[in-house]
Structure 1
Amino acid sequence: MNVIGLDISKDTIDVTLIKTNGQTDYTKIGNNAEGFEILIDWIRSKRIRKTAISMEATGIYYEEAAEYLSTVYTIFVINPLKIKDYAKSQFSHTKTDKADSKLIAEYTKRHSDKLTPFRPSENPNLYKMINLLQQLKQQQNESRNRLHAAKDKFIRSTHEAIILLLAKKITQAAKRIDRMIKQQNSLKQHYQNLQTIPAIGKDTAAILLRHLTDKTFSKANQFVSFAGLSPKIEQSGTSVHKKGRLSKYGHRQLKRALFMPALVAYRIKAFPKLINNLEAAKKPKMVIIVALMRKLAKIAFYIHKTEKPFEKTRHQTA
């Protein structure tokens, strides 16, 4: 089988082709519809058959490419941790976009029989609206930061106006998402069940629903791994009390969506046994927050799978 590895960034995509006979080729395209068409033409010019395309599940940048190209080719979306581990096993120390695209292609060629083909979204308009809402929120936060730093009166008033406009659009987008989900019987009950989880509101429930419905997860740990919810502790000498930090791997949107609910869950002691055990072990606050994010993700998986609302006695140990 011929395989193509894509290393995807915000604006560009590095492309490495490994043919059945082992020969390689490389190109670079834009991360947009025009770039995808250029890639399709490039592949056709190689006169090859049975071609699969692979990419990492990083952020939201890969999603449009996966959706677009899946109409023509078999697509594999791979957990970035798998590629990282593969790079270590190959003693690969070259860190460029071109080299990464080749690693993705090599991994696919070796493990294609174990990979699950990407399934196009059944609700593309809904998911585009969810993405839009998150982008609006990010723009609002950026504008608030600029307002905080601004001294000039005109600049401040401009940022204030932008923030007000974004707030209006955020409200409109959130209402539209809520309405779109409730109009679909297959999603409505799942959506409402997810909101019974402590600290999970409508916006987070919509994002959880999107990924739980749109991806094939057979186990809770697969969903947790997809989100990249593995804590990372920095240690130096005998000190183990340094601040923890989130893994940079996993789906950024999903990870970001679980962060604020985890903070709320920590504040209200939604899962006292977990929190008390970690605090007794002198774990840094960020490690506890990540553990709560992981717990919320696991509970969301079980609730979606069982189609039942949150039950305190059942899900405290999830």
Structure 2
Amino acid sequence: MTVIGLDISQHTIDCFIKHHEKTGVLQIENNRTGFIKLREWLKTHKIRKPLIAMEATGVYYEAVAAYLSAYYSVSVINPLKIKNYGKAMFSRTKTDRADAVLIAEYAYRHADKIQKYETPTYEQNRLAKLLALFAQLNLQINQQQNRLHTAKDTFVLAAHRAVLDVLQKQLAATEREIRTCIQQQQGLSEQYNNLKTITGIGEKTAPVILHYLNLKRFRNANEFVAFAGLSPRIEQSGTSVNRQCGLAHYGHRRLKAAFYLPALVAYHRNYFPALVDNLTRAGKPKMVIIVAIMRKLAKICFYVHKSGKPFDRSRYQEKI
């Protein structure tokens, strides 16, 4: 089996061939000319069916992943998995070429487990961009509000208020565009409406959860929970250490964050009394209970999305 590891930056891509008989390195530009050069390089090495592995580095991987997936098997890997693998292998060299080698070695060892990349549709890609813009505007609004609180000068205050006003208008416009983007697609609109029937899931969180549910094929609810970073982290060593240690440190932060406010609402309105009562009697603190509700909501979202039907508490009680 041949694996090509790609370490991607804004302008360049470092490539490494991992094969039991040969290795090779190449640096290309992160554009179509570079992608074609990579294909020619693989032909020179007589490599026809490689697995091409890369990290999900911001938006810089998207173009090369979309291009190469038309010709080869491509896998886009969570950067944290590569980082942890590097630590386990005691890798101390931090260069673009060394990173390409590490990515190739990880993919070579885990080829039977990593999922094949599927190029998002135009609609999926547009929704992702709108959600990213919404998150960015929210962040900028928070930053601007902090500046407003510390400003003393009259002119500076007026300037910050003007900027804040523009940002808030753009945020509202982006939120409307997200809803329009979803409503224009019948299948997506139905999925969105089904998610909103779930206790605590509203108009702001449903699009985020929907985007990630459609991002990849999850085999079961636990896989989606793990993808969101809501799985409990377990430490085990012989008979002396065997305990849960909070949440796993991997997962998609935006997806994980999307479940927090719905879980908080569900907690205060007592939507899941049995779960809360059991954990309270076990002496669990409030934050542990909130996380348990987040995990429960993630599972419900998976089942509702998979069934294609609105939420029915009695139907999913056994599963969740």
TM-score of Structure 1 vs Structure 2, range by shorter chain: 0.7 to 0.9
Q: What do residues 124-158 of structure 1 show as CA deviations (whole Å, max 9, x unaligned)?
A: 22332222222222222222233233333333332
1:181-220 residue pairs with structure 2 within 5 A? 181-220=182-221
One-letter amino acid of the counterpart of residue 272, structure 1: P
Give a deviation string over 1:194-217, Cα, whole Å, max 9, x none: 001111112211111112123111
The aligned counterpart of 1:295 is 296
Q: Partner of 1:240 in structure 2?
A: none
CA, structure 1 residues 121+300, in 2 after alignment: closer, same or farther (shift >3 Å)?
Answer: same
CA contact (8 A) 2:18 2:104 kept: no
Corresponding position of 2:103: 104
Residue 100 of structure 1 and its aligned partner are, at CA, apart by 4.5
Q: How far apart are 1:225 and its partner, in Å? A: 1.4
Is 2:130 the counterpart of 1:132? no
Conserved? CA contact 1:80–1:249, under 8 Å: no
After superposing the two structures, state which structure 1 stretch, 283-292 or 40-49, moved more. Answer: 40-49
Q: Aligned ranges for residues 139-218 of structure 1 at < 5 Å? A: 139-218=140-219
Q: TM-score, normalised by structure 1?
A: 0.80
1:279 to 2:280 alignment: yes
Calculate percent identity across the aligned residue pairs: 47
The question of whether the paired residues in 2 share the 8 Å contact of 1:4 and 1:15 is answered with no
Residue in structure 1 matched with residue 256 of structure 2 by the alignment = 255
Quote the Cα distance in structure 1 between the aligned partners of 2:163 and 2:64: 31
Cα deviation digits, residues 25-80 of structure 1 (max 9, x gap): 365x8xxxx72446525524633433433234577665565345534543212345
Counterpart position of 1:267: 268
Instruction: Answer yes or no: is the 8 Å Cα contact 1:59–1:252 preserved in 2.
Output: no
Contact 2:3 2:53 survives alignment (8 Å): yes
Structure with max Cα Rg = 2
Runs of 4+ in 1 over 6 A off after TM superposition: 58-61
Paired letter, 1:230: S
Moved more, 184-193 or 16-25: 16-25
Given the two structures, how large is their TM-score scaled by the length of structure 2? 0.79
- 1:303 Cα offset (Å): 0.2
SS where residue 30 of structure 2 aligns?
A: helix
1:314 Cα deviation after fit: 3.5
Deviation at 1:161? 1.9
How many residues are matched? 302
Q: Offset of 1:95 from its aligned partner?
A: 7.3
Residue type at the aligned position of 1:78: I
Opposite residue 40 of structure 1, the aligned amino acid is: F
Structure 2 counterparts to residues 237-252 of structure 1, below 5 A: 247-252=248-253
Choose 177-186 or 60-69, whichever is displaced more.
60-69
Asked if 2 retains the 8 angstrom alpha-carbon contact of 1:199 and 1:262, the reply is yes
Task: Work out the CA distance in 2 between the residues paired with 1:270 and 1:60.
Answer: 38
Matches within 5 A, 1:52-71: 52-57=51-56, 63=62, 66-67=65-66, 69-71=68-70
* Native 8 Å contact 1:147 1:160 kept in 2: yes
Q: Letter of the aligned partner of 2:109 in structure 1?
A: R
Of the structure 1 ranges 132-141 and 147-156, higher mean CA displacement relative to structure 2 is found in 147-156
Contact 2:17/2:24, CA 8 A, preserved across alignment: yes
Q: CA RMSD in A?
A: 3.2
**Which residue number in structure 2 is paired with residue 40 of structure 1?**
35
Shift of 1:304: 0.4
1:290 to 1:26, Cα distance in 2 relative to 1, 3 A: farther
Q: CA separation in 2, counterparts of 1:18 and 1:91?
A: 19
How far apart are the structure 1 equivalents of 2:93 and 2:262? 34
Q: Tell which deviates more after alignment, 248-257 or 213-222.
A: 248-257
Q: Which residue of 2 aligns with 1:238?
A: none
What residue ranges of structure 2 are gaps of 5+ in the alignment?
A: 236-244
The 1:23–1:205 alpha-carbon spacing in structure 2 relative to 1, beyond 3 Å, is same
Give the AA of the match of 1:77: V
Residue in structure 2 matched with residue 241 of structure 1 by the alignment: none
SS at match of 1:269: coil
Matched, 1:23 2:18: no
Provide the C-alpha distance between the structure 2 equivalents of 1:230 and 1:199, rounded to a whole number of angstroms: 20
